[in-house]
Every structure is written in structure tokens, then in C-alpha cells.
């Protein structure tokens, strides 16, 4: 039986960080947002709301897009709202929903490539 020899890793070979990594407190703040959209129904709901003309949609338009009961849709909308991803307003009988652009922008910035990393690509 031969021993496996592992190569010595030189610290100089590792690429330096291109940006500041997420802090522990920022990660704790953002994790519930990503958890809220980790469900396929909630991710679709968020997408449907964001894609509606005018930036908002009536709950009546959302319930018809799914083969789910209205209470189930309401539950998923509540989770998105509690996470701060969407907001709503009652207008007569219906509730209208819209996305919170600042929250989505913050999530998007976290997932997008850092500006210095893009400088060398074309």
C-alpha cells in the first residue's frame, strides 16, 4: 500500500479577494430574504408581481396563475411581505402587491460580480 502525498499549497497561488466579503451581521440580515424566495411558489409570485405592468398586481391576478387555494397563496404572500420583499395595499375588495426595489437591488448586488472582477474581462 503506497502513501498518498499531498502537494504543499503555496499561499501565493491563491487569488486575492476582489471585494469585501459579506459580514456576519449582513449575512444574518440577508439570509431570511433568500430563505423566503427559496420556495418555488414564492419565487414565482415575486416574479409575477415584478413583471406586471405598472409594477404592481392585484391578488386576483396572482391566484389564477397557480393551482393552489387562495389561503395558500395568501400564506406565501405573507411570507414575502414579512421578509420585506413585497408590500401591499387594500383597495376596496382587493389587495394590490408590489416589489420593494431597494431590497431586491441589495440582494442582486450580493449575487452580481464585483466591479473590479469585471475590469479584466471583455
0.85 exceeded by pTM = no
Q: How many CB atoms lie within 10 A of CB 52?
A: 16
List pLDDT tens digits, range 76-89. 999 999 999 999 99
pLDDT over 90 (residue 114): no
- Helix H or strand E segment including 43: helix 40-51
- Residue 110 vs residue 78, higher pLDDT: 78
Residue 106, pLDDT > 70, answer yes
User: pLDDT per residue over 56-75, tens digit each?
Assistant: 999 999 999 999 999 999 99
Amino acid at each position: 500500500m503506497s502513501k498518498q502525498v499531498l502537494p504543499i499549497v503555496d499561499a501565493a497561488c491563491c487569488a486575492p479577494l476582489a471585494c469585501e466579503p459579506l459580514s456576519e451581521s449582513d449575512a444574518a440580515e440577508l439570509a431570511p430574504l433568500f430563505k423566503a424566495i427559496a420556495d418555488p411558489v414564492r419565487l414565482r409570485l415575486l416574479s409575477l408581481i415584478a413583471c406586471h405592468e405598472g409594477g404592481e398586481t392585484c391578488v386576483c391576478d396572482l391566484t389564477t396563475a397557480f393551482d393552489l387555494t387562495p389561503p395558500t397563496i395568501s400564506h406565501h404572500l405573507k411570507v414575502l411581505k414579512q421578509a420585506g420583499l413585497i408590500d401591499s395595499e387594500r383597495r376596496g375588495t382587493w389587495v394590490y402587491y408590489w416589489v420593494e426595489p431597494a431590497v431586491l437591488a441589495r440582494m442582486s448586488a450580493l449575487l452580481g460580480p464585483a466591479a473590479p472582477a469585471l475590469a479584466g474581462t471583455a
